[in-house]
Amino acid sequence: MEFEDVKTIAVIGAGNVGHGIALGLAMAGYQVRLNSTTEESLQKGMDSIETDLDRLVGFGFAEPDQVQAALSMISTGTSLEEASQDADVVIEAVYEDLELKQRIFKELDASCPERTILASSTSTIIPSRFAEVTRRPDRVLVAHYTGPSYLSPLVEVVPTEQTSDETVDIIFQVLTKVGKKPVMVQKEVPGFIAIRLEVALLREALSMVQRGIASPEDIDTVLKTGHARSWVAAGIFERVEVGIGWDLIMAGIQRVLPDIDSSMDAMKLLQEKVDKGELGAKTGKGFLDWTPESAEATRRKMANAFIEIEKWSEDGD
């Protein structure tokens, strides 16, 4: 199967994640089969889709005529077999229960055509646990949508060692067509990029509160008025390499290392960069490659993020 052959996509689960996935796919022109166990949950999901569409129109992200066009692309039903029997891609989005998800994947494997790609939007379960109950391990992977799924551009794609390159490529192209920014998780680990970063940050925030270093309110203020504003335009690697440099970060880490639970393997990786003189934009190379022009463009994006967020904050007040 080629990317151009993908026309019909089934979404299993009509809750907070599933209905948002269905909405995005429908707006991109895909025929969507939204499936759930009861008519009541399907109606609730469709009501949420209509609310989200109205919100998108209000934000200026969609035109009024797109609302009916999107709704016309979505059909609903409580039969898993009917929803999936001729689907090109199926995205499972039920709650985080391994046994339930495995049962669904086993049923999907039996009812779907051989070509069908089976994806889960799980946030923590490795895709091998789904592939092992199917006869198509080369067409099984995770596509973890971050919330709100109809609006957030981030989707984490997690293949197994058996997932084919063709499957990964098709999913990346589908997600890109929908307007998402898919990223690749290169190794199967419980929890993926987003949640591991969030847990690491939350762990240190909780530690600071517990030890009386700072209040929850002040920690949130630091994030909202500092780090988060930069991260809108530049990720953690870009921000360090353009604004600080790994040599200064290394010196700072060494000063606070006794007080922070850090991975020594990660510190070795950082020390290797410093020893090689790969410090970031000021040397032209760190973990990323830089030119004077690309460094300045990133600095401008970061500055603009602060300005735009400040305007938004003032308007909100």
Q: How confident is the model at residue 136 (pLDDT cuts 50, 70, 90)?
A: very high
67 and 143 part of one domain? yes
CATH number of residue 289's parent domain: 1.10.1040
The whole-number pLDDT of residue 315 equals 61
* Statement to judge: residues 62 and 139 lie in one domain: yes
In total, how many domains does the chain have?
A: 2
* Chain segment 241-266, per-residue pLDDT in tens: 988 898 888 887 777 665 655 555 66
Residue 104 confidence (pLDDT): 98
Same domain, 59 and 143: yes
In this predicted structure, the answer to whether residue 302 has a pLDDT above a threshold of 90 is no
Read off the CATH number of the domain in which 18 is found: 3.40.50.720
Give pLDDT, residue 251: 81
pLDDT at position 90, please? 98
Give yes or no: residues 236 and 295 share one domain. yes
The band of 78, judged by pLDDT with boundaries at 50, 70 and 90, is very high
Q: What is the mean pLDDT of residues 159-181?
A: 97
Q: Range of 308's domain? A: 214-316
- Residues 149-158 have pLDDT tens digits of 988 899 999 9
| pLDDT tens per residue, range 29-59 | 999 999 999 999 999 999 999 999 998 998 8
Residue 189 lies in a domain: no
Do residues 220 and 205 make contact, with C-beta atoms less than 8 angstroms apart? no
Whether pLDDT at 208 is above 70 = yes
- 175 and 221 housed in the same domain: no
**Residue 104 and residue 238 share a domain:** no
238 and 132: one domain?
no
Looking at the chain, the whole-number percentage of residues with pLDDT higher than 70 is 93
Q: Is the pLDDT of residue 18 over 90?
A: yes
Residue 195 covered by a domain: no
Q: Are both 86 and 175 inside the same structural domain? A: yes
pLDDT at 293: 93
Averaged confidence pLDDT in the chain? 90
